[in-house]
Every structure is written in C-alpha cells, then in structure tokens.
Amino acid sequence: MSMSVRNFFLSSPPVEWAVNQLRELLIGALRQGPIPQHVAFVMDGNRRFARTHKMETVEGHNLGFEALARILEVCYKSGVRTVTVYAFSIENFNRSKYEVDALMEMAKVKLQQLSQHGELLDRYGASVRVLGSRTMLKPDVLAAIDKAVEMTQNNGDAVLNICFPYTSRDEITTAIKKTVEDYSTPLHSQARPFSQTRITQKIRSRNLSTSPLASSPLRASSPAPSSISDLDESVSSSTTLHPDSPPTDSRSHNNAIYQDPETITSETLDQHMFTAGNPPLDLLVRTSGVNRLSDFMLWQCHENTKMVFLDCLWPDFDLWQFLPVLVEWQWQQKYLEDKSVGKVGASKSAKALKVR
C-alpha cells in the first residue's frame, strides 16, 4: 500500500520533473571535479532480483538492461569516456539453454534497435565495441554485433565496451597468442619483386670501373638496423668481387629476421588486449555484494583501479547508489593529490613547474 502511494507520488509530473532536475544538477556538480575516465561494471544480481520480486529471470535481465541505460546516461553526462560492462561470461553458457537463448535474443534485438538510430548515435559520438570470443556466438547475433559496431566505429567521444562472451583469462590468452603471432612473422617479406642475384649480376656486368662502395646502397635492401647494414656493406663489397656470394644470401633468406622477444613489455600485451586504446581502468563497480572479480578485467584492474563492491542488486542500481561511489573517488583523488604535493619537497614541485 505505502509502496504504491510512494510510486504514485514519485510518478506525479511535478515530482518527476523535480527529481529529473535534481539529477541533472547533481551530474553537473560532479563534472566540476575529477571524473574517472574508464569505469567498468559487473552487472550482477538480475537473477536474484527476479527471484525476490517473483518474476521471470528474463524479466530481471530486461530490468537490468534498463538499469544499464540509466547508468550509462549518468556516466557519459558526467564525463566518463569509456564504460566497460560485463554482459555475458563464457561460463554463463553453462546456464539453462532457455536463459542463454533469451539473453542472446535480447542482445541481438537491442543491438539491432541500436543500429536503427545511427543518426542519434553519431550526434552524441558514442561508439559501441563488443569484446570477447566471437567464435562462440551464433551467426545472427554476430551480424547484429557487426552492424552496430561498424555503424558507430568512427565515433570517438564516448565508448561502450560490451564484454559479451568474455572471460579475462580468455582475453589474456588471446593477447599472448596475438603477440606471439606478431613476433613470429618475419620482419621483411620474402616475396619482393626484385631478385638480389639479378641485381648483383647486373652490377657485375655493367661496371667494374665504379668503386664497390657505390654499389652498396643497392645491396643494402633490408630495412635492418644500422649495425647490421654496416656489416652488410662489407659483405656486399666482397660479394660484388667474388662470385661465391649466394651462400650468404640464402642464409639470410632461411633464417628470417624476427623481432627480438626481449622487446616485449607489458605495454605490448596491453596493446593486444581487447581494451587496447582505452584509458586505464579507474573504477570497477560490482553489485549484489559479491567480493570477487569472477574473471573480469583481471589484467586491467590490477594496478591502481579502485574497486567497489556494493550490496544492491543491479536492477536497483542508479545515480543514487553510484553518486556516493563517484564522490568518494573524487575525494580520494584530491586526497592523493594533496598527499603527493605535501610529501614531495621542493625538488619535485620544481620539476612539476618545469613540466607545466
């Protein structure tokens, strides 16, 4: 009874207007301070919400989607650049077929719907990316994903990463695999239209009067570092004189030059993650009171990411739950700033001045 009275009160036009004004005001106020550039959400609790409210699981997921839309609005309006959401884990394929199918259908329909509003998306500069293992998806869902991603790929103001069949371990493994593949392709392609022997022959036939040094630029065909090209020059000058040069040539052909594995750093792996190019993860929020990452953003949030575990269920999540999190984050940023300023003496502040 009291609930329905409350709902009636809240949905009356003047109250609704006032609440919306207040929201706008609060978001505008938040914008005055530092804002996390990249926020990730684990949208946990849809099923429990459905169970406690005695509705179907799918209905819970629908309400979860509405919560997502609300929170995205808050994020982008307050200045967050990238939002990453954990929509579907690879582990979730173990759930009932009925639920998996319903979730897939939901994703497909929502993405198709998104694609119908291309003009709107362009105007707000939002781009959608789907992170995860594509091979596990059905073709119709993939088509919907590709369309939505393609339509929005040139919008750079705000990014929404939807982790669709995703686990972080899969992401890390994929990044390692891609890096290994990158480093296992020889640096120069062997199929160039120019034959080195032909060039050598031509040089030999045409001139013996010019000095061997002049011919060396022609021989130095590989884009190798300078130390190697020095060596190449000395070799080439000898090969132009002696006919038994082919052995050295064939050696360099078989042993293709690779990039040095020692140059792999964590940045290299970073660039091969699904989130490559996104700002570092500042804030990770998980709802429904579970204090685990559950295979989400392991690589990304291991450094300075602030993680927040909230007790509320995802469909209940809104500005009113998110606001304290954001304010505390801002407060901590300021606190950290003050501390670093206070701690470091004149030397560092002089350095900071120089930077400025």
Partner 1 sequence: MPRATRETNVYRRDARANHKLLTPAEREKLIQPYLPSPPSRSPTRETKEGFRDRPIRKSRLGLRNFFKAQLHALLYAIIHTIFSIYIRIRVAYHAVKDRVFAVLYYHHRTPELIQKDVKGLKRKPEHLSVVLKLEDEARGGAGLEALVDEAAEVAAWCACAGIPMLSIYEPTGILKGYVPATHRAISRKLSSYFGPQHPALTLRAPHVPSMESPSTPTSDSPEISQKQLSVLLLSAEDGRDSLVDLTKTLTEMSQRSKLSPSDISVDLVDAELSESVMGEPNLLILFGPNVELSGYPPWQLRLTEIFHVQDNQGVGYQVFLRALYNYANAQMRFGR
Residue 146 in contact with partner 1, rule: CB under 8 A: no
Q: Are 215 and 203 in contact (CB under 8 A)?
A: yes
**In the set 117, 202, 206, 348, which binds partner 1 (CB under 8 A)?**
117
- From 137-145, 197-205, 237-245, 302-310, span contacting partner 1 (CB under 8 A): 302-310
Q: Helices (DSSP H) in 256-296: which residue ranges?
A: 266-272
Residues 6+ apart with CB under 8 A from 69: none
Residues 120-139 that bind partner 1 (CB under 8 A): 120, 123-125
**Burial of 136 from C-beta contacts in 10 A (0-12 / 13-18 / 19+):** middle
CA torsion angle 86 92 97 102 (round to 10): -10
**121 torsion bin: left (phi>0), alpha (psi -120 to 50), beta (else):** alpha
- Pairwise CA distance, residues 88 & 132, whole Å: 9
CB of 336 to partner 1, least distance (A): 11
Residues 6+ apart with CB under 8 A from 67: 43, 314, 315, 316, 317, 318
Q: Are 82 and 282 in contact (CB under 8 A)?
A: no
Nearer to partner 1 by Cβ, of 77 and 147: the residue is 77
Nearer to partner 1 by Cβ, of 140 and 230: the residue is 140
Nearer to partner 1 by Cβ, of 230 and 311: the residue is 311
Q: Are 168 and 134 in contact (CB under 8 A)?
A: no
Residue 340 in contact with partner 1, rule: CB under 8 A: no
Residue 94 in contact with partner 1, rule: CB under 8 A: no
Q: Do β-strands 158-163 and 38-42 pair in parallel, antiparallel, or remain unpaired? A: unpaired
- From 36-44, 218-226, 237-245, 328-336, span contacting partner 1 (CB under 8 A): 328-336
CB of 287 to partner 1, least distance (A): 15
# chain residues binding partner 1, by CB under 8 A:
73
CB of 350 to partner 1, least distance (A): 19
**In the set 264, 280, 312, 333, which binds partner 1 (CB under 8 A)?**
264
**In the set 88, 299, 314, 322, which binds partner 1 (CB under 8 A)?**
299
- For residue 212, report the phi and psi dihedrals to the nearest 5 degrees: -60, -25
Residues 28-57 that bind partner 1 (CB under 8 A): 28-33
CB of 118 to partner 1, least distance (A): 10
Residues 187-206 that bind partner 1 (CB under 8 A): none
Residues 154-183 that bind partner 1 (CB under 8 A): 157, 168-170, 172-173, 176-177, 179-181, 183
